[in-house]
Amino acid sequence: MVEKTNTNPLGPGYENVPGKEMRFRDIFRDTLRAEMIRDENVFLMGEDISGGFDKKTKEPLDAWGGPFAATKGLVQEFGPKRIRDAPISEAAFTGAAVGAALTGLRPIVDLMYFDFVTVAYDQLLSNAAKSRYMFGGQTKVPMTLFARSGAGTGHAAQHSESFYSMLAHIPGLKVVVPSDPYSAKGLLAASIRDDDPVFLVNDKKLINLSGFVPDEDYTIELGKGRYLRNGNDITLVGMSYTSIVCKEAAEKLEADGISCEVIDMMSLSPFDEDILIESIKKTNNVVIVDEDTPRASMASEFAAVIADKGFDYLDSPIKRVTAPHSPVPYNRDLEKAFMPQPEDVVYSVKQVLGL
């Protein structure tokens, strides 16, 4: 798990903004709570999110908040009508959430592990994403889903996927990928307030990451990327945890006199084409880092857009650093080798620059 502290993500000029250092998991839970207070139509549903109830008194037990403690304590505050434990049927409770959204509520669905998306995929593809279109804009589906992705935590092949490209492929479904506590708060709040279905992907390796979070209420516009670091020689494009990998690689490369610009693609559908082209115009070289497997991945999609709209600005071929086309291994050494590491990015950058 990543546990180091980030610098202020707002950048120069914002050092005096009131805020504090918080863990990713804590600001995520606090944002869920704040949005439930803000709008009584917001409710949560998922497996094991409340912790159950005493059989005699019917009072909620000391809720653990699921295996990632994302909803710990919320059932005591909001009660079982707004923190609803669901049966082990992702298709069923995702479908129920679609129906609730169509009737005016704002459900939030905790799918636990990202791999379980496949069980609910038909509800996402055929109902959540298409209802507004099929009814000519007369309906809204204001639902938010979240789940934990990524390798590196010993959860083996069936609990470690990062195939967010499968979700980004669905028209009508928005997909966002926070990479630190600041973006987790802003993207989660924006997702819950949005009138379309939004899937927020949390990488398990970020759960204990600490970083600066402003005290004020704020949202981050869906569909936008951001600069994590300015540079002149090459652009590094990351998403979710690989944005952290890109920053670490940039720090290593700086010691060798290579100036890297780092872009964090906080949204995958829609995504910020403008920031990609803007940076390529400046640096003329690019390496895209994605933990997903390479075929039909977000790295491939970003590369296609750069080739289509920014080809004339490139001085070298587009380079992708991804996981291999393989399931995630359980063996710890193999799992580490499976994931893109800063050293892999450093090697690719030097290869692109001919060093």
Rounded Cα gap, residues 278 and 280, in angstroms: 6
Residues 6+ apart with CB under 8 A from 304: none
Residue 347's SS3 state is: helix
Rounded Cα gap, residues 103 and 143, in angstroms: 11
Is residue 159 part of the annotated active site? The answer reads yes
Rounded Cα gap, residues 254 and 118, in angstroms: 41
Residue 325: count other Cβ atoms within 10 Å of its Cβ.
9
Q: With CA atoms as reference, report the closest residue to 2 among 175, 231, 219, 241.
A: 241
Out of 35, 155, 159, 261, pick the active-site residue.
Answer: 159
Residue 59's Cβ-count burial label (10 Å; 0-12, 13-18, 19+) is exposed
Cβ–Cβ < 8 Å for 143, 131: no
Is residue 90 part of the annotated active site? The answer reads yes
Alpha-carbon torsion, ordered 159, 115, 297, 322, to 10 deg: 0
Rounded Cα gap, residues 66 and 46, in angstroms: 9
Rounded Cα gap, residues 320 and 16, in angstroms: 38
The helix (run of H) or strand (run of E) holding residue 30 is helix 24-38
Cβ–Cβ < 8 Å for 129, 136: no
Residue 304's Cβ-count burial label (10 Å; 0-12, 13-18, 19+) is exposed
Out of 35, 90, 261, 301, pick the active-site residue.
Answer: 90
Cβ–Cβ < 8 Å for 298, 164: yes
Catalytic residue annotation: 90, 159
